[in-house]
């Protein structure tokens, strides 16, 4: 029996994203979601999380393309906004212009804000996978540990899953392969900080192109093992006016991903779990 976590990112981004997550969980094809602490529909998402205890909920720590909760994070944000792009964030970080203590402070504030609202958090990940970089990973893990969380997304996609993803553009394929060079350092830091993670994230390469055929292709390629857990990363939603106003490149694809997850119903020998079960292993 293959065990798989199906996680939706961007919980709280818009009402349409929240609706898709709630519906997919009710349909039995989505087990987990990561919640943004300071987004347009966070309050609604928080209420859904509190009223749906069967849905595993993590904190989607936002350090780019959003607004901070903390005050006095001048190296992370200016004029009340984070850097708008991952590339801009990376350039600023590599030039030494972002203080790691501000990353830890902001991550702690976001996690704590959700916990104070009564949300029981199962794990953490980051918007646009910024914790793939060691200078972000350590302070984010320390913030999570201070809030009692010891489970983190493994953002690296296995080579077999990359091969099973047919429609991704060449540029994104090259990016995902290049970033895998950071995987060994990620696992070392996670172990040093005392965290648990999965064997890898599926669907990262397919972000923006994750359709039903790709879901079937990736899941069919999962190596048979009851002792290994992977996470399928998805971005479902409804393409409505609120989503059009959100600063996201994933517009029409969110509806495609919402429909694609329905394919999981027809796949045999597949057990869907949440990060809470991973933490208890």
Question: From CA 87, how far away is CA 148, in angstroms rounded?
Answer: 31
pLDDT at 225: 77
The percentage of residues in the chain with a pLDDT greater than 90, rounded to a whole number, is 81
Is the pLDDT confidence value at 44 over 60? yes
Q: What is the mean pLDDT of residues 99-108?
A: 97
Q: Which fold has domain 2-279?
A: TIM Barrel (3.20.20)
Judge whether 242 and 24 are in contact, CB under 8 Å.
Answer: no
The CA–CA distances, whole Å, from 251 to 59, 102, 207 equal 22, 31, 11
Is the pLDDT confidence value at 249 over 60? no
Q: How confident is the model at residue 162 (pLDDT cuts 50, 70, 90)?
A: very high
Nearest residue to 4 via CA among 261, 254, 213: 261
pLDDT at 240: 73
CA atoms within 13 A on the CB side of 136: 25
Nearest residue to 159 via CA among 200, 100, 115: 200
Judge whether 12 and 39 are in contact, CB under 8 Å.
Answer: yes
- Domain-by-domain residue ranges, the chain? 2-279
Question: From CA 227, how far away is CA 50, in angstroms rounded?
Answer: 30
Is the pLDDT confidence value at 168 over 60? yes
Q: How confident is the model at residue 79 (pLDDT cuts 50, 70, 90)?
A: confident
pLDDT at 254: 78
pLDDT at 255: 83
The percentage of residues in the chain with a pLDDT greater than 70, rounded to a whole number, is 95
Judge whether 137 and 186 are in contact, CB under 8 Å.
Answer: yes
- On average, the pLDDT of the chain sits at 93
Q: What is the mean pLDDT of residues 242-261?
A: 74
pLDDT at 113: 98
Crossing angle, helix 183-192 and helix 134-146, to 10 degrees?
A: 30
Q: How confident is the model at residue 57 (pLDDT cuts 50, 70, 90)?
A: very high
In 106-247 the beta strands, taken as DSSP E runs, fall at: 121-126, 201-202, 229-234
pLDDT, tens digit (0-9, with 9 covering 90-100), for 170-184: 889 998 998 999 999
pLDDT at 246: 61
Strand-pair partners of 152: 124
Is the pLDDT confidence value at 191 over 60? yes
Q: What is the mean pLDDT of residues 207-234?
A: 92
Q: How confident is the model at residue 250 (pLDDT cuts 50, 70, 90)?
A: low
Judge whether 260 and 210 are in contact, CB under 8 Å.
Answer: yes
226 versus 77: the higher-pLDDT residue is: 77
Tokens (6 digits) for 213: 């055929």
Nearest residue to 41 via CA among 209, 243, 269: 243
pLDDT, tens digit (0-9, with 9 covering 90-100), for 120-156: 999 999 999 999 999 999 999 999 999 999 999 999 9
């Amino acid at each position: 029996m293959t065990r798989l976590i199906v996680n939706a990112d961007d919980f709280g981004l818009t009402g349409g994203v929240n609706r898709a997550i709630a519906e997919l969980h009710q349909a039995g094809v989505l087990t987990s979601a990561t919640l943004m602490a300071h987004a347009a529909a966070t309050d609604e998402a928080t209420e859904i999380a509190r009223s749906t205890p069967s849905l595993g909920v993590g904190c989607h720590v936002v350090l780019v393309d959003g607004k901070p909760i903390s005050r006095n994070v001048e190296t992370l944000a200016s004029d009340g906004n984070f850097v708008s792009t991952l590339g801009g964030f990376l350039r600023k970080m590599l030039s030494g212009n972002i203080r790691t203590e501000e990353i830890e402070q902001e991550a702690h504030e976001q996690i704590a804000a959700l916990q104070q609202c009564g949300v029981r958090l199962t794990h953490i990940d980051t918007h646009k996978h910024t914790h793939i970089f060691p200078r972000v990973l350590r302070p984010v893990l320390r913030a999570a540990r201070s809030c009692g969380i010891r489970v983190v997304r493994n953002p690296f996609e296995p080579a077999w899953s990359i091969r099973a993803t047919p429609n991704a553009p060449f540029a994104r394929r090259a990016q995902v392969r290049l970033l895998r060079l950071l995987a060994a350092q990620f696992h070392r830091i996670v172990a040093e900080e005392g965290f648990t993670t999965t064997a890898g994230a599926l669907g990262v390469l397919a972000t923006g192109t994750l359709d039903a055929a790709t879901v079937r292709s990736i899941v069919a390629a999962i190596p048979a093992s009851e002792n290994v857990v992977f996470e399928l990363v998805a971005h479902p939603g409804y393409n409505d006016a609120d989503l059009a106003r959100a600063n996201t490149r994933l517009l029409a694809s969110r509806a495609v991903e919402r429909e694609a997850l329905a394919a999981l119903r027809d796949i045999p020998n597949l057990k869907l779990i949440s990060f809470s079960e991973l933490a208890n292993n």
